[in-house]
Structure 1
Amino acid sequence: MSHHLVTLLLGSNLGKQKDNIDLAISRIEEEVGELVGQSEIIYTKPVEFVSNNIFCNIALRIKTQFSPIKLLNLLKKIEVEMGRTDDSLITKGYADRVIDIDIVFYGNMNFSSLRLEIPHSKHVYEREFSKKLLLSI
């Protein structure tokens, strides 16, 4: 069974943000794949929406056997089980969240569907905090 090197970005701005990130990392390791690298944690103001809640952010590199869509489904399941109530893809806007897990890179693959774009262009090209995290792993 082949494994794919995947880069994820995680963010949380509700509750105990760092604890939420730690729990999400544990869940990813248990259910998704082997953690092979991680960035430092940084704290940032919300991007593309207004909130008084600061984000805790981290980039991860994992090895997984799952296809991009199966991986997305597993990550969305973790988000929901951790208490995420709305998905920006459905609501067409951003809001505070317990956890957000985005697939940024999946090997060298370029992939596009209604639910998923790889590479994740906003993280790769637009968001300065994302670029900083991605460069550090």
Structure 2
Amino acid sequence: MKNKIYLALGSNKSDRIDFIHQAINRLKMELDIVITKISSIYYTKPFGYREQENFVNLVVLLETEIDLDSFYLLTKKIEMEIGRTKSIKWGPREIDLDILLFNDLILQSEHLTIPHKEIENRDFFLVPLIEIEPDIINPRNKNFFKEHLNSLQENYILAKEIFNTNQKG
């Protein structure tokens, strides 16, 4: 059975768009991953630690037969290959890959929370997710994700542009 995964990608160091392309291209090179939808790019203020460059963020929908644990390890491998370095919490990063949703799974483990623990609180997750899947439902509470937009405490999105999928990464 194909798993549907909504994956958030973000970057705020150096050539941010190039890092996003590199991550998407690495995902496409995997034998059993098909990216079916890609949101626009959203330019956002940093969350948490504010003394850093703005981020670019987007969300992709992909289908795969890879299980959750293997996919999680793949995201960490891609982050390392692109050159992500450990820094302060919510600090600058070359690439950040966050699994937002994995089918309708609800999971809390040592390394992973599905749906992503902050999905309802961050417009840079919600807006691109809703862009590619307007009527998507939160498995936790069975509400539409778009219902969470009105209750956000802070907005981080500054601008939006169409993502050019033809750029090399």
* TM-score, normalisation: structure 1: 0.90
- Extract unaligned runs of 5+ from structure 2: 133-169
Q: CA deviation at 1:121?
A: 2.3
Deviations 1:16-42 (A, max 9, x none): 001110111010111261000011101
What CA distance in whole angstroms lies between the structure 1 residues aligned with 2:52 and 2:105?
A: 36
1:102 aligned to 2:95?
Answer: no
Q: CA deviation at 1:110?
A: 0.9
Corresponding residue for residue 25 of structure 1:
24
1:82 aligned to 2:82?
Answer: yes
Q: CA deviation at 1:107?
A: 0.6
Residue identity matched to 1:98: E
**Do 1:14 and 1:97's aligned partners in 2 also have CA atoms closer than 8 Å?**
yes
**Do 1:51 and 1:96's aligned partners in 2 also have CA atoms closer than 8 Å?**
no
* TM-score, normalisation: structure 2: 0.74
**Do 1:10 and 1:101's aligned partners in 2 also have CA atoms closer than 8 Å?**
yes
- Extract unaligned runs of 5+ from structure 1: none
How many aligned residue pairs are there?
131
What CA distance in whole angstroms lies between the structure 1 residues aligned with 2:28 and 2:85?
A: 23
Q: 1:118 aligns with which of 98, 104, 114?
A: 114
What CA distance in whole angstroms lies between the structure 2 residues aligned with 1:121 and 1:104?
A: 8
Q: CA deviation at 1:64?
A: 1.3
What CA distance in whole angstroms lies between the structure 2 residues aligned with 1:12 and 1:29?
A: 19
Any runs of at least 4 consecutive aligned residues in structure 1 with deviations exceeding 3 A, and if so which? none
Corresponding residue for residue 128 of structure 2:
133
- After TM superposition, list the pairs within 5 Å mapping 1:31-110 onto structure 2: 31=30, 33-86=33-86, 93-110=89-106
Q: Larger Cα Rg: Structure 1 or Structure 2?
A: 2
* Cα RMSD, aligned residues only: 1.3
Deviations 1:30-78 (A, max 9, x none): 1261000011101001101123311111100000111111111001000
Higher helix share: 1
**Do 2:52 and 2:92's aligned partners in 1 also have CA atoms closer than 8 Å?**
no
